[in-house]
A and B are shown apart, each in its own frame.
Chain A
Amino acid sequence: MKSSFGTSRLLLALSGLSSKLNSTKKWWVILAIFTTVSVVTVGLILYPLASNQPSPTPASPSSPSKVSAVPGANPDAAQVVDSTLLKNLAGASPPLGSESAPITIYEFADYQCPNCQSWWISVKPLLVDKFIKTGKAKLIMVEFPFLGKDSFSSAQAAKCAGEQGRYWEYHDTLYSEQKGIDTGWASIEKLKKFASELGLDMEAFNTCLDSGKYSEIVKQSFKDGEKLVVPGTPTFFIVGPKGEVQKIVGSQPFVVFEKIIDSMLPK
């Protein structure tokens, strides 16, 4: 009886071990597939980097609106940009810098976007010092409000400040005051308060903002951004002296702008 019990236990243990082995094998196959998928995913992400070796890829004069100016840029990723539309944007701000600067940087941004604020804090001052103050480039802001209702009103408020020649001061105020999306930091009252603190003509500003004078222009800015395939904010278009265009998506570091602008400037 005892022996029979022991044998059955042994058989049970063996069958358990066998199924355990089968199951373990199955799990190893799953692990192998999982690891392969992970490695392939990372590989697919990293593969373009390998072909992204820095080698000069000058802009083709025959296709000035093709995105291809930056050394090391992947030509396959080039997108056709309507440079005529860029030059005729309804919602373009007054330029920051010299009108005659050979390089024009168009910035599509939303005043409620934290990445736009981050770029404004960390990159814009360097760009101003090296390229804008020296007359090599000018910056044009194009409002692309999509994050919330206050994005739209803050864009209009900036335009109203621009009527009084204070666009860029008001622009800086908005970024320095930025808080969460639609949390009230850019309510109509706050927008008027910012204008008052800047010493703007409040009667003119209030009339401008309350009448929605720039509502259609700001809407048009957004539509223009969509036509230019702006995928998010901030997005930049750097237009060189020969009409070549380079698109930069995201709050990219100064080194990217420096490399592109230096490659576009006449040697």
Chain B
Amino acid sequence: MALYNSIWIVFASRIYIALAGALALATWVILAWLDEYLFFEPILVFSIPSNRVLNFSLVVLISMLSGISISMNVFRLISLRRAFGKSGRTGLTGSTVAFIAGVCGCNSVGFAIISIFGTVGGLATSFVLNYQLPLRIFSVALLIIAIYSVSRNIVNECQLPLRPLAKMA
């Protein structure tokens, strides 16, 4: 119920819908490029190999959840004058884990990491690449927790001014 209410509160404004959409799109473009679903050179092309449909679905899910989570946190920051709390950090952690899971690999970014950081970079890349799918699922879970947490905060904090009125009544 808190989630439903807070989504209504936040996304009643078109600005937050636009912000969530822009953030989701930006996240999707970066993750799809890192994961080699989207290519810019030599020609613009997008494709989902049949053996990577699940991973791509998680990329889409993470992008959407990141857009929702970050825009809800921004709403909370702006409307309720609160500094980043636990929920805000969790939202960013979920997105960060998702990015790390995409960055390390045999793609150009992964190769650069190994070249720069040597053995440590290689070990980190191996770990991330071997556990890419569980890490992605973990980041989805983190984002869901973040959205739930921020939605509870939004609903609770929005109810604060009503309490004295309720007492008076």
Binding site for B on A (CB under 8 A): 20, 23-24, 27-28, 30-31, 34-35, 38-39, 41-42, 45-46, 48-49, 52, 54, 67, 70-74, 77, 110, 112-116, 118, 121-122, 146-148, 180-183, 231-234, 246-253, 255-256, 259-260
Residues of B within 8 A of A256 (CB): 39, 42-43, 45
Indicate if the CB atoms of B78 and A232 lie closer than 8 Å: no
Indicate if the CB atoms of B45 and A255 lie closer than 8 Å: yes
The size bracket of the interface on B is 35 or more
Indicate if the CB atoms of B42 and A122 lie closer than 8 Å: no
Q: How far is the CB of B116 from chain A (nearest CB, A)?
A: 13
Q: How far is the CB of A22 from chain B (nearest CB, A)?
A: 10
Q: How far is the CB of A233 from chain B (nearest CB, A)?
A: 5
Interface string of B71-89 (1 = CB under 8 A from A): 0001001110100000000
Most buried by A among B106, B109, B114: B106
- In whole angstroms, how far apart are the Cα atoms of A77 and B42 in the complex? 8
**Which of B18, B33, B43, B106 touches A73 (beta carbons < 8 Å)?**
B43
Tell me whether chain B's interface is mostly helix, strand or loop, or mixed: helix
Q: How far is the CB of B68 from chain A (nearest CB, A)?
A: 15
**Which of B30, B77, B79, B107 touches A250 (beta carbons < 8 Å)?**
B107
Q: How far is the CB of A124 from chain B (nearest CB, A)?
A: 12
Indicate if the CB atoms of B114 and A74 lie closer than 8 Å: no
Pick from B4-12, B125-133, B144-152 the stretch touching chain A.
B125-133
25 A–B contacts, CB within 8 A, in A order = A27-B78, A31-B78, A35-B19, A45-B30, A46-B29, A52-B43, A67-B42, A70-B42, A72-B44, A73-B41, A114-B105, A118-B49, A147-B114, A147-B129, A181-B125, A181-B130, A183-B130, A231-B112, A232-B105, A232-B108, A232-B110, A233-B111, A247-B42, A250-B108, A255-B45
